Structure 1
Amino acid sequence: MNERLRHTTVGLLYPGFGAEDDFPALERRLGGAVRLPLVHTSVGEDAHRVDALLDLGSAERLAEGARELAGHAPDAVMWACTSGSFVFGWEGAREQVDGVAKIVGLPVSSTSIAFVEAVRALGLRRVAVAASYPEDVATHFVEFLRRGGVEVAALGSHGIFTAAEVGTLGKERVADMVRSGDVDDAEAVLVPDTAMHSLAWLDDLESAVGKPVLTANQVTVWEGLRIGGGSTRLDGMGSLFRR
């Protein structure tokens, strides 16, 4: 096993509850090759609504979680939330992670930034988005991607209002969302929302559409490994980890 990968620890700041069990399940599957200690950041209201998401991603909530996470001695830290980062816009999302970096003194990124970096790493330009969120929230993600140089061919929005509900979605429902969001001229399908389980299903989701599928929890782990100096080649984790 790659010695560099063996000692990579990606600390996760995860808002509330939804699909947080995705990460320890991945740790077990990889036999300890990657450590993913997780700290739950506080949540005011579980709502996919812009004002609630701006509160969710506030500097105060992230700072509290970052101070707790520092005790796990991570190599890098991820703000493991898509909507609570992209609603701040391109510059705001950068300011968000810079604020955490000042506290932990480590490389820090977020799920929204990770999506853009993953698309670039795969050499993609045109994608479809299959979002769990209401459309008004999902359009903020589309704009974030466009600011990152990613063309969005189609947006599928499923109007799910809470992270708690997203966390109950099973593999077939998620695969249906991916299929319904795909369009012929998209090179990949992006599935935001870290409240959605996906890490055990990545190859199946790609088989459903015959192209790369990037999910929030997947790109969060990938980006954490990338900025933390670990290997990003893992089996069973989709095209992103096979590149």
Structure 2
Amino acid sequence: MTSLGFLYPGHSAEDDYPRIEQLLGSDIRVDLVHTGLGEDAHRLPAPRELGSAEQLGEGMERLRLSGVETVVWACTSAGFVHGWQGAQDQVRALARLAGMPASSTSFAFVHAARELGVRRVAVGATYPEDVTALFAEFLRAGGLEVTRVRSSGVGSAAEAGAWGEEEVLTLARAADDAGAEALLLPDTALHTVAYLGLLEKSLAKPVLTANQVTVWEGLRLADRRVNAPELGALFTREPIVQV
């Protein structure tokens, strides 16, 4: 049994995680611990204040008791808004605190794109434009080319969590770019797992979504590979060998 730990702020799209656990269909356990949400706002400076050491530490204590092997900070914006170096510092601090391999959703997107061998990506974000721009900057720092960015300006995680299939598909189609090899949907407050097959079929390319890549990152840290076609191309393709 492999136990994966996730620190997730609030409750907007938490049900994506047990859904993923079911779709993995193997000896994988997904343990989710909720951290404080603070001000539920996508606008700055709220995302910068979300992943405080105190909040992460409190959540980590509860995860440690559950016997997890890896931990991922499951909040995209509260990672990338600190920039590449700041997000690395955050993950290092979490790893020291946890005493185990750690990462965050922001880095999961970069690692997942590398796994698929894609360099050119489009971004469809629920965030305001200034926050979305910081995500694009983070991706570029990770070696990716961002061909198109679409911002929806959703004001809060609660609002994003209320989106359904139609809204998610509309955002994806509006953000897609013919030159992009994959589309990224970065908000962990957005339900996407149930729509991955539809999204990839509609766009005819890999789609990487926040909760999907977060669990994949936990598996990567645990050195586990699981074939789960319902979770999209990321969970079905052979890894790319970097030369």
Q: Tell me if TM exceeds 0.5.
A: yes
Deviation by residue 1:186-208 (Cα, 9 ceiling, x = unmatched): 11100001001111221111011
> Which residue identity does 1:117 align to in structure 2?
H
Aligned with 2:47 (options 53, 56, 79): 53
Deviation by residue 1:209-229 (Cα, 9 ceiling, x = unmatched): 110100001100111101112
Check the 8 A contact 1:26/1:200 in 2, yes or no.
Answer: no
Check the 8 A contact 1:8/1:229 in 2, yes or no.
Answer: no
Check the 8 A contact 1:27/1:33 in 2, yes or no.
Answer: no
Structure 1 residue 91 displacement after superposition: 0.7
> Which residue identity does 2:105 align to in structure 1?
T
Match of 1:202 in 2: 196
Unpaired runs of 5+ residues, structure 2, are 238-243
Match of 1:227 in 2: 221
Q: Secondary structure at the match of 2:230?
A: coil
Deviation by residue 1:40-64 (Cα, 9 ceiling, x = unmatched): 1112100012211111012221111
Structure 1 residue 28 displacement after superposition: 3.0
In percent, how many aligned pairs have the same letter? 54
1:221–1:139 Cα change, 3 Å: same
The aligned length equals 237
> Which residue identity does 1:12 align to in structure 2?
F
Instruction: Confirm whether residue 117 of structure 1 aligns to residue 120 of structure 2.
Output: no
> Which residue identity does 2:168 align to in structure 1?
V
Structure 1 residue 32 displacement after superposition: 5.6
CA distance, structure 1, for counterparts of residue 8 and residue 172 of structure 2? 23
In the TM superposition, 1:55-204 aligns within 5 A as 55-204=49-198
> Which residue identity does 1:198 align to in structure 2?
T
Unpaired runs of 5+ residues, structure 1, are 1-6
1:125–1:30 Cα change, 3 Å: closer
Deviation by residue 1:90-112 (Cα, 9 ceiling, x = unmatched): 01111111111112111100000
- Provide the alpha-carbon RMSD of the alignment: 1.1
Match of 1:3 in 2: none
Match of 2:206 in 1: 212
TM-score, normalized by length of structure 2?
A: 0.94
Deviation by residue 1:115-165 (Cα, 9 ceiling, x = unmatched): 000111111111100000010110010000000000000000000010001
> Which residue identity does 1:48 align to in structure 2?
H
Check the 8 A contact 2:24/2:226 in 1, yes or no.
Answer: no
